[in-house]
Amino acid sequence: MSSSLPIHSPHCVVGVIGGGQLGRMIALAARRLGVRTVIWTGGLEAPAVECADEVIDLPFDDAQALQDFCSRVTVSTVEFENIPRETLEAVARSTGLHPSPSAIAICQNREREKNFLREMQIPHTPFAVVASAADLAVAMRELGGPGVLKTADFGYDGKGQIKLEGHEDPAEVWAKFDAPRAVLEAWVPFEKELSVMAARGADGSIVTYDPAENRHRNHILDLSIVPARISPAVKLEAAAIARRVAEALDYRGILGVEFFLKTDGELLVNEIAPRPHNSGHHTLDACVTSQFAQQLRAVIGLPLGSTRLLTPVVMLNLLGDFWQDETTPPDWLPLFEDREISLHLYGKRHARGRRKMGHANIIGTTTEAALARAEALKARWLAEGAGAGE
Ligand code: AMP
């Protein structure tokens, strides 16, 4: 493939903007390939730091950092999307950035994301854009019934969201809601939440992973169950929609498409993540190619790897509330005694209630068997954990 870099050359250095656990797992996948990484992160305690070859520890709008980063890398990617547009554009011009700044810009803002889905006629939750109390009044009337008001920028894991029953006073709600722009979404009484990881390569070829069935706890991903317990038709439809999203964004790299599956079988896109995603962590132990290795292949310009699922699996997120106190992890012994669980920790020194500290991939002969073991571990750790505070 003409656009691929020679991976074993010292000139193949992948730059990663962001230093969280996703960056850490990209860096680990790069190590296995003998590819060097430069991580640009906001703080030296970031999870990716100890796994990277080089680190730039300066804000994402720092001109010197930008110059340093671009001079050290051959090609770049992001591990989270809230990066200033100017930085993304400059990196793209200098090193090549996959996914592109325009794809990231669409996914980093709910208003742009929803408008994109509407324009592309990709099924999505009914919504209205809100920039004032008057807009909110109109939006509440038009959508009718319950909804969720979400900030346009910087929202994730349920942050910057409030549920509305539909009878609140719009002026009061808007006065309390601390954001200049928002999106009001209709409340979707879904049967399940699903996600599909898809990757699009340098040559435009697309692969998709088996859909994951996702369960949340306090708005944060708790468990992903793969294969999802859904009909073959819904599986095909979810994969087809993820492909359409990747095509429409002219995407290069891995992306996660999150869905609501309604009781009537209809799929609606909720969100698009322009990067590896928490609901793809099972691919580390249960698929031929992990989502992180896949990202590197796409970014470097190598052919994409197989997405084949090798075994049923449940990914259990290890949140800080399993920790006995801020620095004492749960008792790992029952996990290791199981023998079919892989533990992945992100090296975070301090646990807080909602913080993602790691995950465990629990494989089994059936999803039900894996799920039962995941639930047992979770119940035990929640009972023993002090629920390290927020
Ligand atoms: P988000 O940050 O938009 O992914 O929302 C976090 C979680 O809140 C989702 O995974 C759903 O469980 C729930 N949620 C968000 N939007 C809606 C909606 N329009 N209808 C029903 N549940 C929602």
Assess if residue 143 is contained within a domain: yes
pLDDT digits (tens, 9 = 90+) for 203-245: 999 999 999 999 999 889 999 999 999 999 999 999 999 999 9
Assess if residue 249 is contained within a domain: yes
Give the per-residue pLDDT at 1. 40
Cα 193 to ligand 1 centroid, rounded to whole Å: 9
Q: What is the CA radius of gyration of the chain?
A: 21
Structural domain boundaries, residue 182:
126-186
Provide the domain count of the chain.
3
Contact 231, 261 (CB under 8 A): no
The pair of three-digit structure tokens given for residue 330, joined into one six-digit string = 């749960």
Assess if residue 71 is contained within a domain: yes
Assess if residue 289 is contained within a domain: yes
End-to-end CA distance of the chain: 48
- Residues 92, 154, single domain; the answer is no
- Residues 198, 171, single domain; the answer is no
Residue with tokens 């997120």: 317
- Residues 273, 217, single domain; the answer is yes
Assess if residue 2 is contained within a domain: no
The pTM of this model reads 0.95
Cα 142 to ligand 1 centroid, rounded to whole Å: 20
Give the per-residue pLDDT at 44. 78
Instruction: Name, in order, each residue with C-beta under 8 angstroms of 259's C-beta and a sequence gap of 6 or more.
Output: 193, 194, 195, 196, 211, 238, 241, 267, 268, 269, 270
- Residues 176, 197, single domain; the answer is no
State the pLDDT confidence band at 155, using cuts at 50, 70 and 90: low
40: CATH: 3.40.50.20
- Residue to mutate (ligand 1; options 124, 151, 219; most atoms within 8 A of CB): 219
Where does ligand 1 bind, in terms of residues with CB under 6 Å? 125, 148, 150, 155-156, 158, 185, 187-188, 193, 216, 219, 270-271
Assess if residue 261 is contained within a domain: yes
- Residues 182, 144, single domain; the answer is yes
Cα 95 to ligand 1 centroid, rounded to whole Å: 36
Instruction: Name, in order, each residue with C-beta under 8 angstroms of 105's C-beta and a sequence gap of 6 or more.
Output: 85, 88, 112
- Residues 133, 159, single domain; the answer is yes
Give residue 193's identity as a one-letter amino acid code.
E
Report helix, strand or coil for 67: helix
179: CATH: 3.30.1490.20
Q: Examine the fold and report which residue of 150, 169, 186 is the final residue of a domain before the chain moves on.
A: 186
Give the per-residue pLDDT at 11. 73
- Residues 177, 201, single domain; the answer is no
Cα 332 to ligand 1 centroid, rounded to whole Å: 31
- Residues 171, 47, single domain; the answer is no
Cα 78 to ligand 1 centroid, rounded to whole Å: 24
Contact 13, 72 (CB under 8 A): yes
State the pLDDT confidence band at 156, using cuts at 50, 70 and 90: low
Assess if residue 361 is contained within a domain: yes
Atom 19, ligand 1: which residue's CA is nearest? 187
Element (H, E) at 114: helix 110-119
Q: Which residue from 302, 275, 311 is spatially nearest to 291, judged by alpha carbons?
A: 275
Q: Residue 297, Cα to own-chain centre: how many angstroms?
A: 18
Render the burial of 231-246: b for 16+ CB within 10 Å, e for the rest.
eeebbebbbebbbbbb
How many other C-beta atoms lie within 10 A of the C-beta of residue 251? Answer: 26
pLDDT digits (tens, 9 = 90+) for 25-80: 999 999 999 999 999 998 778 999 999 999 999 999 999 999 999 999 999 999 99
Contact 163, 214 (CB under 8 A): no
Q: Examine the fold and report which residue of 186, 215, 238 is the final residue of a domain before the chain moves on.
A: 186
- Residues 55, 83, single domain; the answer is yes
- Residues 141, 261, single domain; the answer is no
Nearest atom of ligand 1 to the alpha carbon of 258: 4
Q: Examine the fold and report which residue of 140, 163, 186 is the final residue of a domain before the chain moves on.
A: 186
Counting residues of the chain whose pLDDT is more than 90, the rounded percentage is: 90
Give the per-residue pLDDT at 118. 98
Q: Residue 223, Cα to own-chain centre: how many angstroms?
A: 14
290: CATH: 3.30.470.20
- Residues 153, 219, single domain; the answer is no
Q: What is the DSSP string of 342-377?
A: EEEE---SS--TT-EEEEEEEE-SSHHHHHHHHHHH
- Residues 265, 149, single domain; the answer is no
Nearest atom of ligand 1 to the alpha carbon of 190: 21
Instruction: Categorise residue 87: left if φ over 0, alpha if ψ from -120 to 50, beta otherwise.
Output: alpha
